[in-house]
């Protein structure tokens, strides 16, 4: 039998957050009249019992968002390295080994280095943020992620003046990932990119967990990116390498279908995918209930400035 070794930064099982607690705390927060506050305040300051999310960043709260159930977040996935079938990925990813794991940072940085991921998490700390998530296939979730801001990592490795982009790469292992063997026409490993300005923004999160528990393999263990204002395919899973570069990186989806999946891929209801509309989105976990899609997935106030001068009507 496989015994999972507990990560030393991991929370005791008894402190992981059941969904019900999230809602309880949400009520508590409301009662405290607490919507926006500077800095990270432990929930315990509001009289909540101990445990996650003790590090919920109050700038990204549950608020009025209807959280997607944990069971759906971890069993309705996109992870082509394992399967094309969303509901089969959790099963296919069972033998995936995400421990030990290193993250290599290279290229145009003053401090290139290879981190042990657990060590990195201990060094940078984890906070929790509730983000809306919008897949290019027109479905949406609301997820409580655990992780550290990518911004912190960027600061740590110190980009040089020439650096303009980050190129992220996932893993390559045909034995552990049956999808990589089954689809040799795909340019594995999965890779993605951001501009340095995007990466240095406060929103992108390097995710290590969901609902206060370590990230399951099917969601991109042990470390994945979440960029909440972009289509989900930008949020690359199981990252092994980040290279800082002065050239716009190629991306797996852009290589495969350049007229369908651009580099920027900001959520935009005004620009249809060539094969379907992006105006509305299906709420995962409801019986085909739909809602309007927001520009930048609702994060326009924070990020629109990054795109001054870019024609967002085009499929970027």
Ligand X SMILES: Nc1nc2c(c(=O)[nH]1)N[C@H]1C(S)=C(S)[C@@H](COP(=O)(O)O)O[C@H]1N2
Residues lying near Mo ion in the complex (CB under 5 A): 78, 135, 232-233
Nearest distance, CB of residue 49 and ligand X, angstroms: 28
Comparing CB distances to ligand X, the nearer of 86 and 279 is 86
List the single partner that 80 binds among ligand X, Mo ion, none, CB under 5 to 8 Å by kind: ligand X
Place of tokens 């852009």: 254
Q: Of 43 and 101, which CB lies nearer to ligand X in the complex structure?
A: 101
Q: How many helices (H) and strands (E) does the chain have?
A: 9, 12
Q: At a CB cut-off of 8 Å and minimum separation 6, what does 131 contact? A: 60, 142, 143, 145, 205, 226, 228
Residue whose C-alpha is closest to residue 232's, from 131, 130, 314: 131
| From the list ligand X, Mo ion, none, partner contacted by residue 278 (C-beta under 5 to 8 A by kind) | none
Q: How far is the CB of 59 from ligand X (least distance, A)?
A: 22
Q: How far is the CB of 6 from ligand X (least distance, A)?
A: 22
Distance from C-alpha of 310 to C-alpha of 312, rounded to nearest angstrom: 6
CA 11-15-17 angle, to 5 degrees, is 105
Nearer residue to ligand X within complex by CB, 43 or 60 = 60
Give the residue closest to ligand X by C-beta: 232
Query: CA-CA distance, 116 to 123, in Å (whole number)?
Result: 11
Nearer to Mo ion, 99 or 260 (CB): 260
Min dist CB 276 to Mo ion, Å, is: 13
Q: How far is residue 204 from each of residues 207, 236, 245, measured CA to CA in Å?
A: 9, 12, 18
The distance of closest approach from Cβ of residue 246 to ligand X in the complex, given in angstroms and rounded to an integer, is 24
Q: Closest CB to Mo ion among 135 and 143?
A: 135
Nearest Cα residue to 55 out of 45, 68, 66: 45
Residue ranges that bind ligand X, judged by CB under 6 A? 77-81, 135, 170, 190, 219, 232-233, 235-238
């Amino acid at each position: 039998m496989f015994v999972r070794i507990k990560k030393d930064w991991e929370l005791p099982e008894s402190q992981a957050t059941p969904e019900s607690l999230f809602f309880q705390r949400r009520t508590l927060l409301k009662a405290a009249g607490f919507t926006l506050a500077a800095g990270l305040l432990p929930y315990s300051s509001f009289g909540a019992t101990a445990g996650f999310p003790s590090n919920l960043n109050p700038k990204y709260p549950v608020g009025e968002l209807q959280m997607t159930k944990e069971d759906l977040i971890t069993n309705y996935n996109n992870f082509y390295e394992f399967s094309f079938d969303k509901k089969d990925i959790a099963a296919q990813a069972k033998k995936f080994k995400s421990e030990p794991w290193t993250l290599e940072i290279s290229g145009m940085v003053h401090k290139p280095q290879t981190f042990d991921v657990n060590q990195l998490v201990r060094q940078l700390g984890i906070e929790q943020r509730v983000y809306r998530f919008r897949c290019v296939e027109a479905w949406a979730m609301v997820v409580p992620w655990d992780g550290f801001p990518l911004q912190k990592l960027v600061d740590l490795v110190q980009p040089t003046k020439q650096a303009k982009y980050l190129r992220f790469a996932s893993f390559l292992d045909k034995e552990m990932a049956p999808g990589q063997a089954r689809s040799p026409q795909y340019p594995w490993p999965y890779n993605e990119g951001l501009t340095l300005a995007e990466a240095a923004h406060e929103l992108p999160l390097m995710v290590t967990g969901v609902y206060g528990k370590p990230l399951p393999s099917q969601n991109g263990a042990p470390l994945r990116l979440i960029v909440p204002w972009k289509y989900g395919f930008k949020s690359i899973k199981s990252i092994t390498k980040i290279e800082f570069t002065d050239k716009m990186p190629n991306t797996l989806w852009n290589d495969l279908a350049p007229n369908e999946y651009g580099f920027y891929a900001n959520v935009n209801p005004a620009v249809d995918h060539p094969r379907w509309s992006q105006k509305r989105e299906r709420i995962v976990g409801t019986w085909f209930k739909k809602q309007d899609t927001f520009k930048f997935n609702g994060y326009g106030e924070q990020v629109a400035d990054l795109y001054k001068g870019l024609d967002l009507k085009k499929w970027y």
